[in-house]
Amino acid sequence: MHRSYFPRNNCRPNPSLKLQKFHVQAAAPMRLVRTAALSRLRLRPLRNVTHTNVQWPALISRRQCASCADTAASPVTPSLDKTTQTPPIPPADHRAIAIDQDLFVTSALSPGSPLFLPNGAHVFNKLLSFLRAQYKQFGFQEVITPTIYKRSLWEQSGHWENYKDDMFEVSGRGASGQAKDAEIGEDEEYGLKPMNCPGHCLLFKSQRKTYRELPVRYADFSPLHRNEISGALSGLTRVRRFHQDDAHIFCRPSQISEEISKTLEFVAVVYKTFNLGPFKLCLSTRPEDHYIGTVEDWERAEEQLKEALDRSGREWSVNEGDGAFYGPKIDIILKDSDGKEHQTATIQLDMQLPQRFQLEYQAPAPELEQKGILTTDKSLLEQSGPVTPVIIHRAIFGSLERFMALLIEHYNGRWPFWLSPRQAIILTVGKGNGVDEYAEEAQRITSGIGPSLPEGKVAPLPMDTAQFLVDIDQSDRPLGKKISEAKRKKYNTIIVVGKRSVEENTLELDVTAQPNQQVTQSALADILGSENAIGNGRSVKLSRDQVYDYFSRVSSAYA
pLDDT at 273 over 70: yes
244, 304, 352, 546: the catalytic one is 244
193, 217, 262, 329: the catalytic one is 329
209, 243, 248, 553: the catalytic one is 248
**246 has catalytic annotation:** yes
| More confident site: 230 or 21 | 230
Angstrom distance (rounded) from CA 171 to CA 530: 67
Confidence class for position 215, pLDDT limits 50, 70, 90 = very high
Domains, the chain, in order of start with CATH, read 3-70 (no CATH), 97-147+193-411 (3.30.930.10), 150-178+186-191 (no CATH), 417-453+465-556 (3.40.50.800)
**197 has catalytic annotation:** yes
Ranking 46-50, 290-294, 513-517, 534-538 by mean pLDDT, the lowest is 46-50
Nearest partner of 403 among 91, 130, 165, judged by Cα: 130
Confidence class for position 439, pLDDT limits 50, 70, 90 = very high
Angstrom distance (rounded) from CA 244 to CA 218: 13
pLDDT at 297 over 90: no
Q: Kindly provide the b/e burial profile for residues 156-179, where b requires at least 16 CB atoms within 10 angstroms of the residue's own CB.
A: bbbbbebbeeebeebebebeeeee
Q: If you average pLDDT over residues 267-282, what whole number do you get?
A: 88
Spell out the residues 6+ positions from residue 471 whose beta carbon is closer than 8 angstroms to its own: 422, 424, 425, 426, 491
**393 has catalytic annotation:** yes
Spell out the residues 6+ positions from residue 399 whose beta carbon is closer than 8 angstroms to its own: 239, 242, 243, 244, 344
**11 has catalytic annotation:** no
201, 217, 225, 246: the catalytic one is 246
| More confident site: 2 or 323 | 323
Angstrom distance (rounded) from CA 502 to CA 318: 64
Q: What is the pLDDT of residues 22-35, one digit of tens each?
A: 444 444 455 554 55
**476 has catalytic annotation:** no
Q: What is the pLDDT, as a whole number, of residue 34? A: 55
Q: What is the pLDDT, as a whole number, of residue 73? A: 43
Ranking 62-71, 149-158, 326-335, 512-521 by mean pLDDT, the lowest is 62-71
Q: What is the pLDDT, as a whole number, of residue 59? A: 39
**248 has catalytic annotation:** yes
Ranking 141-155, 218-232, 398-412, 447-461 by mean pLDDT, the lowest is 447-461
Contact by Cβ (8 Å): 507, 445:
no
Neighbouring C-alpha atoms within 13 Å toward the C-beta of 58: 1
Q: What is the pLDDT of residues 337-355, one digit of tens each?
A: 667 787 888 999 888 899 9
Angstrom distance (rounded) from CA 552 to CA 440: 20
Ranking 125-139, 376-390, 434-448, 465-479 by mean pLDDT, the lowest is 376-390
Q: Provide the percentage of residues in the chain whose pLDDT is more than 90.
A: 52
**136 has catalytic annotation:** no
Angstrom distance (rounded) from CA 199 to CA 339: 36
Nearest partner of 276 among 394, 399, 114, 396, judged by Cα: 396
pLDDT at 14 over 50: no
226, 238, 241, 286: the catalytic one is 226
94, 101, 193, 197: the catalytic one is 197
Q: If you average pLDDT over residues 309-317, what whole number do you get?
A: 85
pLDDT at 112 over 80: yes
31, 94, 241, 393: the catalytic one is 393
